[in-house]
Structures are given as structure tokens and as C-alpha cells.
Structure 1
């Protein structure tokens, strides 16, 4: 090979090396991520080691504005110690490299998505007290032992453990550098949906030192309906999942004291309520009950409110589960107290304020009855009359459910029913009018015997 050809070969080789080793910085939620391209995919190699909470993006843009897929997180650097406490790895990333988080000495929570197929040797420091939120295909014992883990990546579902940080504290700076400012038109705010499980209430759920052995909870989260004429209830499954975590961690309920069903059928809902009766028979006045429902509700032709099981069409109102039946059953039980939380409306609309009933059934109940309650029962419902119970896309929850759990988070569960209702009503009304352009008014219903006492009851 002559000198000219050799120089040409070296230049081509160097160009190839430069292309394959392309490095750039990508801003995501106000944090600069160091990125390196390898074989057409991106490796995240670092970020500000003082950042307390970090969402590691699954897609980034290079200097030319091209969107690239992130394949690997490789953060280890000798002598570099990160002060980061919470890390969320976005769905789509497939590999956590060897020693990746070994220098994260203050790491308290990590959210690993179902897409992870490989975790390298000693990826996490076993001396930390890290809480791992991850798919069942990865075992905590293997992570703490520093084993190399190979697992089959799966399509994300609502069981995907990925959760996030308080996104309201972080602007989306992915398209701009630190000094670049984008103009925003206040008259047309942009509503940004986030991945379910990445809301601020899904993060930093307080842990209680108390154990409420005599409190029992039913959770029904009906999001996906079997009948094609019934639209899904956006974020209902995540509502139920997160509420269960608050019951377990913040309110201190034993796991055996909770019955949780996603997309529950009619008979399943009926059996769950029957379980309450069996518990009340043996606990009596020592028992406290919580009922939580997120899903469709609809009135019948007489204005009677019905909850819609997952195997029932929203247009088949007569086969819904009557709220009156639920309240009557609870009112007859010999218990200390029962709190019912209903994140459903009876307007015939879904959470997007779109008519869910077919043409035949629309407008069947111009007046919705306020079902009476008896016994030691308090009911908080998401909306009044024919108002719509809205979704809160910015937090990937129902609007009513979000503020219920936000109050539990802020107070660490030390809140009375009266304080909870006042907070939820004020914030739901404000957010619905300002951000959604439609009024939603939560309401409370109590039995006559509790009119003077319900506000002071605590969980």
C-alpha cells in the first residue's frame, strides 16, 4: 500500500471512529445528560452528580436534532460520587452497565422498567438502603449480590414498576440548552400527558410507623371494559395501584386487610363487598372500612346511580352495581366507621368529557339522585350532579384521586375526613375550572347520625 492510499485509509478510519464515538449533551427536565453514540444507539454516561432526583430518558436528540434511542446507562466513573437519591429509568432502555450505580452512595429509590434485558455485575452498591421498584423477572437478592442478570424484556403494562418524580418541579428542556428560553402563550397552555406511574404522588409515598390492624379496604379500579361500546377510563388502573400503596405504606394497613381488583366483573365486586360483611361479623365496632372505586358510573332512567363493572356495557345500565345497594349494605354493618371514595361521575361522559353513552341512552337522567347513606358511613364523590369526573393528564391520574392521595402524601396520613374533603374540593374545583375549562365539584354525603362528628374522624 503506497503512502497516499495509506493516508486515505487512515482518514476514513478516523472519520468512522469519530462518527461512532459521537458525544453530545442532551437536556431533559432541566438536567444535562452526557451521551455517547455506539453502533447507532446511545449510552448515557453521566449527569450532574448533585441532582437529587433524575429521570433518565429513553430517547435523546443529537446536535443535528436527530432522535436516537438510548440503549444503555453506564454512569460509573472512578472516584466520582453521586448524591442522587432517586433514579427513574424510562421504558425502552435495555441495559444497566457494570458498576453503573455503584458510586450512588445516597441512592434510596430506583425504578427499573420492564424493558431492561441486562443488568451488569455490581451495578448497585450493596451498602446502600436502596428500594428497588422493578419487574418480577429481576430479584433484589441478585442485585445486592452483584450478579449479572439476564432477563427477557417485555411490553410495558400497568404492572410496569417504572414510576417517577415530582415532574412539576422540572421543565422540559430537552430541546434547549440551559441559557435558551422558549416563549409560552398563557392563553393556550399545553397539556402534557405523562406515563402512568410517573406522577409526584407515585413518588416518595410516606411510610407510617403505625399498623392499623382493624382497618380494611376494598379497591376497585375499572379501566378496561370488555364491551366495545364502553370506552376505557383513562388512568383508573394507576389510581387503584397508587391508592393501594398509600393504604399499605402511609395508612399502615396489613396487606391481608386489602382486596384490590383491576377491571373487576360484577360478581367479583359483589364478592368483595360480601367479604366486608364477614369481617364486620367478627370485628364489629373495632372495624374501620375504606371503599375506593375508580371507573365508569352512570344513572338509570330514574336517576339512580350505578357503578359499571368491567363485564357490563355502560349502555346496559340495569346491570350496573347500584350505589344505593352498596350504601345500604355498609350502613347495616356493625362497624366503627366506613369511608367511601368514588372517582366516577354520573353524567354519562368519560374522563375526557366525551359522551360515553350511545345515542339511545344519552340524556336519560337529567337529574341524578343523591343516594342517602345510613349507619357510620361517609361518602366522598368526585363530582356533583351531572358534572364530569375529569382526568388529570399532567399527573396521569383522575383529578379527584390525585388530590385525595396528594393530601395523604402531604400529611403522612394524619388527616381527618373533614380536612381531606375541604382540601380535595377546593383543589379539584380550582384545577378543573382553570386548567380544564369545566367545573368539577366533589361532594360529601353522611348519615344523619354523623352530621356533627364525621369531620373529626381520622383514618
Structure 2
């Protein structure tokens, strides 16, 4: 687990490589990312995770952090089951300001990412150009709050967890922020997996 300034490029990369080296057949991987993401316009809006010490303008210099490469490494592991929960938007905008210099503060749509959809499922905070909203009342991100709440309350399969989380996140986003910042979580891959 890496939090805030400890979630640097070097620490994320090293920790993930060490973890993947230890994975054996029959294991389950739970990958959770809560942070900024950016689409890189020069790479056809390829989505990248933005580590705490990364300058957004240079995010593409480290290909390890391309979301397609993260998912490919997880998919290539020996794990029988991979559950990824990604609380990040890849719209290029945070708090109404562009993350990338020289790009207008309008939401972009990140390129879709392929992965092993038989062994892996990805739950994401919102649709392609939606915000990943905060939830200040609960001191969490909105999507993460409901994912954690529903797991604690007993959701043990992905299908139920997603159904509950999606409805709660969407309804609360409308109540808190209105239509402009509506947030509808998405799911891809094998939603029949259990936690």
C-alpha cells in the first residue's frame, strides 16, 4: 500500500514488480488505484496513471504507467483472478482545470484499454469523460466510499458490489453536484467473479 507522496513512480513500479513476482497459480490479485489519470493527446488519448511525483506534461516518458501496460502486467500474471478497482477519471481535467499544459480545460475521452476479460474485472469510477468526484461529507472519493461501504456491509460478489456501488455513486453525484458532474461507474471483464 502506497499513500500520497509515497506513491511515487519508483515505489509504485518496484512494489508492483515485487508483488507480481510472488504471484502463484491459484492466487487472487486485488489492484486498487485512487489518484489522477491523464489521457495523452499525442498518443491518441492513451490513458496514463499519474504518480504523486510525476509532472503531467511528462507522464508519457514512463511507459510503465500507461494503463494498458498496468493491465497487461496484471493479465500476464499467474493469478486465477484479478479484481481492479480504479477510482480515477482519465478526462484530463481536475477541479475544472486542465491537468496538461496547453490543453483547454475541456474533458477528453481516453482511449479504451484491453485486458484478459476472462480472469480480470475492472470497476472504474465513471464513464470516459466524467469526473471522479470527491465526497467531502465522508472524507473520501465518492466511488471509493461506496465500494468500501458495500464490501464492509457484505457484498461478496462483483456483480452485486457493482450494482450497489453504481446506483449509490450516481444518485449521490446528482444530489451533491447536479447533472454537470454526474458520475456513473463502469465495469468491464468478468463480473461473475467473487471477492
The alignment's TM-score, normalised by the length of structure 2, stands at 0.88
Q: Once the 2 structures are TM-superposed, how far is the Cα of residue 386 of structure 1 from its aligned partner? A: 1.4
Q: Which residue of 2 aligns with 1:315?
A: 57
2:34 to 285, 294, 297: 294
| Alignment check: 8 A CA contact 1:381 1:443 kept | yes
1:418 to 137, 159, 182: 159
Q: Which residue of 2 aligns with 1:373?
A: 115
1:272 to 8, 11, 15: 15
For residues 47 and 124 of structure 2, the distance between their equivalents in structure 1, rounded to whole angstroms, comes to: 12
Distance verdict in 2 for CA 1:441–1:293, change over 3 Å? same
Larger radius of gyration: 1
Gaps of 5+ in 1: 1-218, 223-261
Q: Which residue of 2 aligns with 1:428?
A: 169
Q: Which residue of 1 aligns with 2:74?
A: 330
Looking at both structures, which has the greater relative contact order when contacts are Cα pairs under 8 Å and sequence separation is at least 6? 2
Q: Which residue of 1 aligns with 2:97?
A: 355
SS across alignment from 1:394: helix
As a proportion of its length, which structure holds more helix? 2
For residues 303 and 317 of structure 1, the distance between their equivalents in structure 2, rounded to whole angstroms, comes to: 12
Q: Once the 2 structures are TM-superposed, how far is the Cα of residue 383 of structure 1 from its aligned partner? A: 1.3
2:145 to 396, 402, 425: 402
Q: Which residue of 2 aligns with 1:304?
A: 46
For residues 33 and 87 of structure 2, the distance between their equivalents in structure 1, rounded to whole angstroms, comes to: 6
Q: Which residue of 2 aligns with 1:57?
A: none
Q: How does 1:40-439 map to 2 (within 5 A)?
A: 219-222=1-4, 263-280=6-23, 283-284=24-25, 286-301=26-41, 302-319=44-61, 321-350=65-94, 353-362=95-104, 366-374=108-116, 376-411=119-154, 414-437=155-178, 438-439=181-182
SS across alignment from 1:387: coil
Distance verdict in 2 for CA 1:434–1:318, change over 3 Å? same
For residues 68 and 32 of structure 2, the distance between their equivalents in structure 1, rounded to whole angstroms, comes to: 16
The alignment's TM-score, normalised by the length of structure 1, stands at 0.39
Deviations along 1:369-422, one digit per CA (max 9) or x if unpaired, are: 1211115111111111111101001001000100001101211xx510111111
Deviations along 1:70-102, one digit per CA (max 9) or x if unpaired, are: xxxxxxxxxxxxxxxxxxxxxxxxxxxxxxxxx
| Alignment check: 8 A CA contact 1:300 1:365 kept | no
SS across alignment from 2:56: coil
Root mean square deviation, CA, Å? 1.9
For residues 319 and 383 of structure 1, the distance between their equivalents in structure 2, rounded to whole angstroms, comes to: 26
Distance verdict in 2 for CA 1:430–1:378, change over 3 Å? same
Q: Once the 2 structures are TM-superposed, how far is the Cα of residue 271 of structure 1 from its aligned partner? A: 1.1
Q: Once the 2 structures are TM-superposed, how far is the Cα of residue 356 of structure 1 from its aligned partner? A: 4.1
Deviations along 1:166-217, one digit per CA (max 9) or x if unpaired, are: xxxxxxxxxxxxxxxxxxxxxxxxxxxxxxxxxxxxxxxxxxxxxxxxxxxx
